[in-house]
């Protein structure tokens, strides 16, 4: 992208990190300034900066605004990737990345100049639409608009606007059911060889894995008894290609669809890349391989149109313009983890981004003017014709449970990252009657009730106007549902409950639940974090709560009845087929029936939960009451019900109806045995035993890694914990992933060490501190080998950072499970509480260790800051891994010396070791 920068008339550039604050002027001068000086300057004049929320967090003003280069990038290069740092933007623009904070401050204006230079270039690929978008942004007083006004020329012909340039999807006839075929072993291995490429080294482990995976696709012997294969393949086996070989072969020969389900977006991206090997032609690839996500991930064009036409105001309206620019160039319209930069919604403090998706199920299907270009519909139609559908566990389970996929599309399923199957089933088959859920249902039925609304929101009556005007009984049911929904919580429900003035049956129930939680919760922060969630099990419930539950159940039944009547009336309308019922209207009513069915299921789940209160315990379920809080601030209250064993509904609704299921993972046995894998995948509930297969990682863990258990950090000694993190990060020269089980401790450690590490050139990013989503933080961490990242458990799952950027993982202690009501119930039911807890910890250790060595040339160390680490848990690590119990000083010298030897193989060699040293962090 490099081109000579034009002369510019730009304001000064502000750069702030934990190490300091700098102001760079166009004449080349650089001033270090205080926080107060920077804030008052930024308030009086718009300054150039990169990533306003992050700079704002560094300066202590989250509302900081300026001429953010990221916003300029989003306008000029929609759907393109950039890491949201000065170095990241420099690289995206083809400029050398600055190596120090001073250089960063100076290069901001250069990067801005480079970007502005593109406005006049003929090879600017995303020109179409920019001039029109700029006119709208000018009207919204976007800060960059005056600087772009003369630079982006008016095109000679009018620009097509977004809604007329998106491709239209075509209806295709349903596929016949897959043919029954045999797949000879040689054919599977030949496909594997084709996928790995000519000249690739023949890997026996991968070939064995492909053979084992192929058994999934054999003809099913009995109804509801699928071929089930559980396959553990250590890191580096190449299991993705190992199962894509039989999967693509079966899909082509049999004419069927294989669903490949993952838990993390990182693996979805990897699959998307690897599947391309079989379809080198892009059009072919898109026809045969489709990525599917839940509806709530995609942009809803109708919501966007509403936002662009005045539904959004202020900063949210500016965001809508950027989203419209992006939508015109997006591959698939996926706003979460697709090609919309993860940092873009964060620049607007998330204002409006979620309102642009179809989160509340308000889609009007064929009644929508954008139905034929809708991203969601396009992905759904494409997947019916695809060979491979890449999806996630939750979507696969919901689709199977609701029977939404046509043509038996969920008949062959590969669950990669299968160690998450239990947790995904746990979340999918749970019921939660909470304030937030209930108000969503109210809005879905009634629609907006106040003028202060954001986006297009319509209630049931407006969405089904044609049914109501045709069918009197349907109209009566809609009115009755609207009336009954007033028992659900309304706006400001939480405030009313906190003021002990609840309104309506459900608010009264939540208020009684909250009183019970506060009365019974025995600890606030001994084992669980203070100021965070409180919960109690739903047992021995007393009078006021039972009365409230009875009243609430009656209110929900009063809502359920008309919704069920309405569903029946719509089925009747479809059968009567009146004149006005053309294809689109039929499709819309079909969609409405399925949305209604989903709401009725939800209500039935809630009613069952309420009716059981006060009665005998249900051995299959665990029920509890919870008050959700962040730092002492309440944000939700509710009743929860989970399956004691969520693999039961998984087996009934997903596994048994399928013909073949492969469950695979690098840590399927969780560092334990096959019983764990069989129990946590649902295989235990199948008639036919699963085929079991395991292959060890080819990596040389003895020389590539080591585990260091630090023996002299006392539990609860925060200064010592922070000091240990700082010294270890310093010894590794960054490249460290620090994992915590408690947000509070993560924040305390970050606050103690961030500035001091920054002083020696080691940036530290932190989940729950930096105002960015985890995926963006991982991008920033991956992009800078000197950076380190602190995060909680969720981060551990999603991170895939091969190579130099990740060379040290530090755990703050033994990752015991949070002592929740649900965990306690499962532990008690397990028959062996210690073994149950051990399995949990082993699985977490194995997964965290798995982040470290991703390739044959990776090397790294794994540190656990806990003297009390039981030896019996060490089987979580690959058998050859050296494990040492050492004091902190020795751990640090081992990290330093390993980094020195790693320099011989290129690790850390390009970065100088800072001379400064952190010994104590108080």
Contact residues: ligand SF4, CB under 6 A: 300-302, 358, 363-365, 368, 370-371, 374, 376-377
For residues 863 and 375, give the distance between their C-alpha atoms in angstroms, rounded to a whole number. Answer: 45
For ligand SF4, give the closer residue by CB, 362 or 623.
362
> Smallest gap, in angstroms, from Cβ of residue 600 to ligand SF4?
21
> Smallest gap, in angstroms, from Cβ of residue 369 to ligand SF4?
8
> Smallest gap, in angstroms, from Cβ of residue 448 to ligand SF4?
16
For ligand SF4, give the closer residue by CB, 355 or 421.
355
> Smallest gap, in angstroms, from Cβ of residue 301 to ligand SF4?
4
For ligand SF4, give the closer residue by CB, 280 or 583.
583
> Smallest gap, in angstroms, from Cβ of residue 305 to ligand SF4?
8
For residues 385 and 175, give the distance between their C-alpha atoms in angstroms, rounded to a whole number. Answer: 7
For ligand SF4, give the closer residue by CB, 299 or 780.
299
For ligand SF4, give the closer residue by CB, 334 or 377.
377
Sheet with 388-392: list strands edge to edge: 289-291, 388-392, 258-262, 412-415, 660-665, 227-233, 691-695
For ligand SF4, give the closer residue by CB, 135 or 372.
372
For ligand SF4, give the closer residue by CB, 358 or 645.
358
> Smallest gap, in angstroms, from Cβ of residue 306 to ligand SF4?
10
Report yes or no: 811 and 843 within 8 Å, Cβ to Cβ.
Answer: no
For ligand SF4, give the closer residue by CB, 374 or 556.
374
Task: Read off the DSSP letter of residue 373.
Answer: G
Q: Which secondary-structure segment (H or E) carries 464?
A: none
For ligand SF4, give the closer residue by CB, 408 or 584.
584
For residues 815 and 869, give the distance between their C-alpha atoms in angstroms, rounded to a whole number. Answer: 10
For residues 432 and 19, give the distance between their C-alpha atoms in angstroms, rounded to a whole number. Answer: 45
> Smallest gap, in angstroms, from Cβ of residue 79 to ligand SF4?
18
The 10 Å Cβ neighbour count of residue 198 is 6
For ligand SF4, give the closer residue by CB, 370 or 685.
370
> Smallest gap, in angstroms, from Cβ of residue 314 to ligand SF4?
23
For residues 840 and 830, give the distance between their C-alpha atoms in angstroms, rounded to a whole number. Answer: 12
> Smallest gap, in angstroms, from Cβ of residue 162 to ligand SF4?
12
For residues 539 and 613, give the distance between their C-alpha atoms in angstroms, rounded to a whole number. Answer: 8
* Close Cβ partners of 885 (under 8 Å, ≥ 6 residues apart): 709, 711, 869
DSSP H stretches of helix in 276-392 = 282-288, 301-306, 314-329, 343-347, 375-385
Least Cα distance to 916 among 727, 781, 721, 718 occurs for 727
> Smallest gap, in angstroms, from Cβ of residue 447 to ligand SF4?
14
> Smallest gap, in angstroms, from Cβ of residue 595 to ligand SF4?
11
For ligand SF4, give the closer residue by CB, 593 or 694.
593
> Smallest gap, in angstroms, from Cβ of residue 337 to ligand SF4?
18
Cα distances from 625 to residues 6, 21, 410, 426, 546, in angstroms, run: 62, 47, 35, 17, 13
Burial state string for 462-487 with b = 16 or more CB within 10 A and e = fewer than 16: ebbebbbebbeebbebbebbbebbbb
> Smallest gap, in angstroms, from Cβ of residue 368 to ligand SF4?
3
3-class SS of residue 51 = coil
> Smallest gap, in angstroms, from Cβ of residue 299 to ligand SF4?
8
For residues 575 and 573, give the distance between their C-alpha atoms in angstroms, rounded to a whole number. Answer: 5
For ligand SF4, give the closer residue by CB, 365 or 444.
365
Q: Is 214 exposed, middle or buried (0-12, 13-18, 19+ CB in 10 A)?
A: buried
The 10 Å Cβ neighbour count of residue 34 is 11
For ligand SF4, give the closer residue by CB, 166 or 843.
166
For ligand SF4, give the closer residue by CB, 364 or 742.
364
> Smallest gap, in angstroms, from Cβ of residue 175 to ligand SF4?
23
For ligand SF4, give the closer residue by CB, 225 or 440.
440
For residues 572 and 394, give the distance between their C-alpha atoms in angstroms, rounded to a whole number. Answer: 32
| Beta pairing, strands 227-233 & 660-665 | parallel
**Which residues on neighbouring strands pair with residue 433, listed in sequence order?**
639
For residues 535 and 825, give the distance between their C-alpha atoms in angstroms, rounded to a whole number. Answer: 13
For ligand SF4, give the closer residue by CB, 91 or 370.
370
For residues 25 and 14, give the distance between their C-alpha atoms in angstroms, rounded to a whole number. Answer: 9
> Smallest gap, in angstroms, from Cβ of residue 372 to ligand SF4?
9
For residues 755 and 749, give the distance between their C-alpha atoms in angstroms, rounded to a whole number. Answer: 11
| 3-class SS string, 586-649 | HHHHHHHHHHHHHHHHHHHHHHHHHHCCCCCCCCCEEEEEEEEEECCEEEEEEEEEEECCCHHH
| Helix axes of 393-402 and 583-611: crossing angle, nearest 10 degrees | 100
* Close Cβ partners of 516 (under 8 Å, ≥ 6 residues apart): 536, 541, 542, 545, 625
Q: How many helices (H) and strands (E) does the chain have?
A: 37, 23
For ligand SF4, give the closer residue by CB, 457 or 642.
457
> Smallest gap, in angstroms, from Cβ of residue 456 to ligand SF4?
8
Burial state string for 165-197 with b = 16 or more CB within 10 A and e = fewer than 16: ebeebeeeeebeebeeeebeeeebbebbeebbe
Sheet with 621-630: list strands edge to edge: 431-434, 633-643, 621-630, 534-537
For residues 614 and 135, give the distance between their C-alpha atoms in angstroms, rounded to a whole number. Answer: 62
> Smallest gap, in angstroms, from Cβ of residue 307 to ligand SF4?
12
For ligand SF4, give the closer residue by CB, 300 or 873.
300
């Amino acid at each position: 992208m490099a081109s000579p920068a034009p002369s510019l008339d730009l304001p000064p550039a502000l750069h702030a990190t934990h190490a300091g604050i700098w102001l760079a002027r166009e004449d080349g001068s650089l001033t270090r300034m205080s926080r107060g000086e920077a804030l008052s300057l930024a308030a009086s004049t718009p300054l150039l900066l990169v990533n306003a929320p992050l700079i704002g967090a560094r300066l202590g003003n989250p509302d900081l605004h300026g001429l953010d280069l990221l916003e300029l990038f989003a306008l000029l290069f929609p759907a393109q990737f950039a890491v949201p740092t000065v170095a990241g933007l420099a690289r995206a623009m083809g400029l050398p990345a600055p190596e120090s904070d001073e250089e960063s401050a100076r290069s901001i204006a250069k990067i801005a100049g480079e970007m502005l230079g593109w406005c006049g270039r003929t090879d600017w690929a995303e020109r179409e639409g920019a001039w029109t978008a700029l006119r709208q942004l000018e009207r919204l007083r976007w800060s960059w608009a005056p600087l772009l006004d003369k630079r982006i020329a008016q095109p000679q012909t009018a620009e097509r606007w977004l809604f007329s340039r998106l491709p239209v999807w075509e209806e295709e006839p349903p596929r016949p059911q897959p043919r029954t075929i045999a797949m000879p072993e040689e054919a599977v291995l030949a496909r594997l060889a084709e996928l790995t490429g000519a000249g690739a080294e023949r890997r026996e482990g991968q070939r064995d894995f492909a053979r084992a995976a192929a058994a999934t696709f054999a003809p099913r012997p009995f109804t509801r008894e699928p071929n089930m294969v559980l396959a553990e393949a250590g890191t580096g086996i190449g299991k993705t290609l190992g199962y894509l070989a039989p999967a693509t072969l079966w899909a082509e020969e049999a004419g069927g669809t294989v669903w490949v389900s993952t838990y993390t977006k990182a693996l979805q991206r990897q699959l998307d890349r690897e599947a391309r090997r079989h379809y080198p032609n892009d059009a072919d690839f898109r026809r045969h391989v489709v990525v599917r996500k839940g509806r709530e991930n995609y942009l809803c064009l109708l919501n966007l149109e509403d936002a662009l036409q005045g539904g959004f105001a202020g900063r949210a309206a500016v965001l809508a313009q950027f989203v419209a620019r992006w939508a015109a160039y997006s591959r698939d319209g996926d706003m979460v983890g697709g090609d919309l930069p993860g940092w873009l919604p964060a620049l607007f403090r998330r204002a409006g981004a979620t309102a642009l998706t179809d989160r509340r199920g308000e889609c009007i299907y064929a009644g929508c003017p954008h139905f034929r270009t809708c991203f969601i519909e396009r992905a759904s139609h494409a997947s019916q014709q695809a060979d491979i559908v890449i999806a996630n566990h939750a979507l696969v389970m919901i689709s199977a449970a609701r029977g939404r996929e046509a043509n038996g599309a969920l008949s062959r399923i590969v669950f990669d990252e299968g160690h998450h199957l239990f947790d995904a089933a746990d979340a999918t088959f749970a019921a939660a009657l909470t304030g937030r859920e209930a108000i969503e249902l109210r809005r879905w039925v009634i629609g907006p009730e106040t003028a202060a609304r954001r986006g297009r929101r319509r209630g049931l009556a407006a969405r089904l106007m044609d049914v109501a005007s045709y069918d009197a009984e349907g109209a009566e049911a809609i009115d009755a549902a609207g009336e009954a929904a007033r028992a659900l919580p309304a706006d400001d429900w939480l405030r009313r409950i906190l003021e002990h003035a609840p309104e309506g049956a459900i608010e009264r129930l939540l208020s009684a639940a909250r009183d019970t939680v506060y009365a019974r919760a025995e600890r606030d922060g001994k084992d669980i974090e203070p100021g965070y969630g409180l919960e109690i099990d739903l047992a021995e419930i007393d009078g006021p709560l039972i009365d409230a539950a009875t009243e609430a159940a009656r209110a929900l039944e009063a809502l359920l009845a008309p919704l069920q009547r309405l569903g029946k009336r719509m089925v009747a309308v479809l059968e009567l087929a009146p004149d006005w019922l053309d294809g689109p209207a039929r499709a819309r009513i079909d969609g409405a029936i399925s949305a209604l069915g989903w709401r009725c299921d939800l209500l039935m789940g809630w009613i069952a939960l309420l009716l059981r209160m006060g009665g005998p315990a249900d051995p299959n379920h665990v029920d509890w009451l919870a008050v959700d809080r962040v730092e002492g601030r309440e944000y939700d209250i509710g009743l929860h019900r989970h399956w004691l064993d969520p693999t039961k509904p998984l087996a009934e609704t997903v596994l048994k109806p399928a013909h073949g299921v492969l469950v695979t993972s690098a840590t399927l046995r969780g560092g334990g045995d096959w019983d764990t894998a069989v129990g946590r995948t649902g295989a235990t509930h199948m008639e036919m035993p699963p085929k079991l297969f395991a292959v060890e990682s080819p990596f040389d863990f003895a020389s590539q890694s080591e585990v260091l258990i630090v023996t002299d950090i006392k539990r609860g000694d925060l200064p010592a914990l922070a000091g240990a993190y700082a010294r270890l990060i310093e010894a590794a020269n960054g490249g460290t992933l620090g994992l915590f089980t408690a947000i509070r401790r993560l924040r305390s450690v970050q606050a103690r060490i961030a500035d001091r590490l920054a002083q020696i050139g080691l940036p530290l990013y932190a989940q729950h501190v930096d105002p960015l989503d985890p995926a963006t933080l991982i991008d920033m961490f991956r992009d800078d080998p000197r950076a380190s990242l602190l995060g909680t458990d969720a981060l551990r799952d999603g991170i895939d950072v091969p190579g130099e950027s990740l060379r040290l993982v530090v755990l703050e202690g033994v990752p015991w499970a949070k002592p929740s009501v649900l965990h306690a119930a499962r532990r008690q039911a397990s028959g062996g509480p210690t073994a149950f807890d051990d399995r949990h910890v082993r699985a977490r250790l194995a997964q965290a260790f798995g982040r470290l060595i991703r390739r044959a040339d990776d090397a790294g160390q794994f540190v656990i800051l806990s003297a009390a680490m039981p030896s019996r848990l060490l089987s979580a690590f690959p058998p050859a891994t050296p494990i040492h119990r050492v004091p902190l000083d020795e751990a640090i010298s081992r990290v330093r010396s390993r980094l020195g030897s790693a320099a011989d193989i290129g690790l850390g060699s390009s970065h100088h070791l800072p001379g400064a040293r952190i010994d104590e962090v108080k």
